[in-house]
Amino acid sequence: MNQRKFGRTGMSVSELCLGALQFGWLNDAASSFNLLDTYRELGGNFIQTSTVASTQNLVTHSEQTLGAWLRQRPSVRQHCVLSTRMVFSGQLQSPGQSLDRLVREQCEASLRRLGVSHLDLLVCEWGDCFLPNKGAVRPIDELLTGLENLTRAGKIRYAGTAGFPAWRFMETLSRADRLRGCRFESLQQKFSLLDQGNFYTDVSALAREYRVGILAESPLAGGFLTGKYGRSKGLHVSARAQKLAERYADARGFSVVAALESVGQELNATPAQVALAWVLRHPNVTSVIIGCNHSGHVHTSVSATQLELSDEHLWRLESALERVSK
């Protein structure tokens, strides 16, 4: 697995980042440890955990599980880029509590669960705390102040964002410069063949101009691009599958899956591997976050980093979108 420079930070991270949200939840400790060991053996060094389960709004066992793995392998920490993702919601704040205090308390709780002295990257997810308050100073300054304090205390090395609109991210760079403090060094957002959003119009240029790392999440469009969901089956068996159906199960989505299958047959690869290779080929993408249920998924994902998509392959994949869009 190759490594890429992480913006202007000087860190190098593997092109695949192992997402650990499901640890201690969908994966027990034994299977989580196996996943982590396999990922490390294949050259991975970038791991992102989370404080909140997006579907339950509860603190998960993700950090505790990862922390237990690290304690059993004390030499690994110095070779890993460790990240955790936090959602800062007004529901978490006590009356009168400032955002800088909240981020400090949340970070310190994560460090205790992980059993480490510092995080290499603290990712702040877009939440209602970042929305303007009527008649008050926008609380983003409080967050930046809190991050600067954590950096000076040695509890984090760098900070990044997840789900921030490009305009909001740009605003934080300006405010951080004015405060002469910690700025966000990465922007994390969904990016796949079916989720391109403003990547080409705003995000790529922002990454180049300000030397910001781009972390691509959901490269398989929530699993839809694996090709396992047929037109008439598989998309109504669970709440998650129904959400995928509502978002992607249309002529455009199935056209892309068919193109992935066609290209995959020529390269002896799965649709998922081709979809992942498409995301990885973009030079402004620093790392792609993958979620794996077992070690076999890690192997197939790493194999995708070796796929070479020709110009003709790329044309076919992108034409699958254009034919339906017009």
Q: How buried is 48 (Cβ within 10 angstroms: 0-12 exposed, 13-18 middle, 19+ buried)?
A: buried
Question: Contact 247/218 with Cβ under 8 angstroms?
Answer: no
For tokens 């992480």, name the residue: 6
Q: Which residue has the higher pLDDT, 143 or 260?
A: 260
**257 or 96: whose pLDDT is higher?**
257
Average pLDDT over residues 89-103: 68
C-alpha–C-alpha distance, residues 252 and 258, integer Å = 10
Mean pLDDT of 55-77: 81
Give the model's confidence band at 95: pLDDT under 50 very low, under 70 low, under 90 confident, else very high. Answer: low
Q: How far is CA 18 from CA 42, 47, 105, 195, 295, in A?
A: 12, 5, 25, 20, 11
Q: Can you give the residue ranges of every domain in the chain?
A: 3-190
pLDDT tens for residues 223-242? 999 988 766 555 556 667 77
CB atoms within 10 A of CB 176: 20
User: Please, which pLDDT band fits residue 264 given cuts at 50, 70 and 90?
Assistant: very high
User: Phi then psi for 15, rounded to 5 degrees?
Assistant: -70, -15
Q: Place 94 in a pLDDT band, splitting at 50, 70 and 90.
A: low
Confidence of residue 167 (pLDDT cuts 50, 70, 90): confident
- The pairing of beta strand 46-50 with beta strand 16-19: parallel
Cα separation of 183 and 195, whole Å? 27
Which two three-digit tokens encode residue 184? 């966000």
Residue 293, both tokens: 């249920």
pLDDT for 229 equals: 73
pLDDT at 61: 82
- Residue 14's CB: how many other CB atoms inside 10 A? 24
DSSP string covering 125-173, please?
A: EP-GGGSPPTTS--THHHHHHHHHHHHHTTSEEEEEEES--HHHHHHHH
The average confidence (pLDDT) of the chain is: 87
More confident residue, 274 or 239: 274
The answer to whether the Cα torsion of 165, 92, 216, 284 is positive or negative is: positive
The per-residue pLDDT for 271 is: 96
Q: How many CB atoms lie within 10 A of CB 96?
A: 6
* Inter-residue contact 22 to 62 (CB < 8 Å): yes
pLDDT at residue 40 greater than cutoff 80:
yes
Rounded Cα–Cα distance for residues 223 and 241 (Å): 9
Report, as an integer, the average pLDDT of 269-280. 97
Q: Which of 51-65, 119-133, 221-235, 243-257 has the highest mean pLDDT?
A: 243-257
Q: Which ranges constitute the DSSP H helices of the chain?
A: 29-41, 62-72, 99-114, 140-152, 166-179, 204-210, 239-248, 251-267, 271-280, 295-304, 311-325
Domain covering 3-190 in this structure, CATH number = 3.20.20.100
Integer CA distances (angstroms), 272 to 197, 223, 228, in order: 20, 8, 10
pLDDT at position 60, please?
60
pLDDT at 135: 39
